[in-house]
Amino acid sequence: MRFATALNYDVKFQIRHGFYAVYAIITLFYFGALANVPSPIRPTLVTLLIFMDTSVLGFFFVGGIILLERRQRTIESLFVTPLRPGEYLWAKVISLTILAALASHLIIIVVADISLNILWFTFGICASSVFFVFMGIAIAVRSRTINGYFFRGIAYTMILAVPLFQYFHLVENPIISLFPTWPLLLLTDAQFHSYSLPEMLEACVLLVFWCGFGWLWARRWFDKFAIQQFGAGI
């Protein structure tokens, strides 16, 4: 019940602050732009769009949310309510993942005009969003301003963009295949090109690992932040 209430609050917060309206407009723009590009390059553009935008939208939003709630002392009030820190974090993650999944599915289904195995793509986009939101939380609680948040975030996102070099066959290195963003590229591109079942399963397992790592990363820094700021034993 506590978690459902927190999740409902976060979704309503995002709707009230225009997150859904903004991405509805952006998605319509993408529809128009992609519909006017040649069909042969459309799959690559759709994959890049999902990789560089909709899959990471939770990362861009969660920093602002955390910093706003810190300024409004919402996080401080968390420790005098029955809501647990883990429930607070997962409500943020799932609510933003819902938005990322909606935007991504609309783009790939409506614009790509393809027959796809939706389960692979759904898992890829949702798991990637979970990781990115956890990463955003870990960075946000260590940042004092939105500029500081994005300055830190740019360094991480530049590193996570390295798999693009392998996607475009500019480099081939097995280490790149271990990056958390490589499975997203593979599972998205698999809607347009054939990959083996072991490759798909390996991508899913790798995403599960990175989601687990993201959870531990976010929880560690959130707990440290709470103890330093409020002396909360959590």
Q: What is the pLDDT of residue 127?
A: 96
The structure's pTM equals: 0.91
Mean pLDDT of 29-38: 85
pLDDT at 234 over 80: no
Angle at 89 between CA 83 and CA 94, to 5 degrees: 110
- Domain containing 173: what range? 2-230
pLDDT in tens, 158-183: 999 999 999 999 999 999 999 999 99
Q: For the chain, what is the domain count?
A: 1
Average pLDDT, the chain: 87
Q: What is the DSSP string of 204-225?
A: HHHHHHHHHHHHHHHHHHHHHH
Q: Is-contact 38 139, C-beta < 8 A?
A: no
Q: 121 CB contacts (<8 Å, ≥6 apart)? A: 104, 105, 108, 187, 188, 190, 191
Pairwise CA distance, residues 213 & 170, whole Å: 28
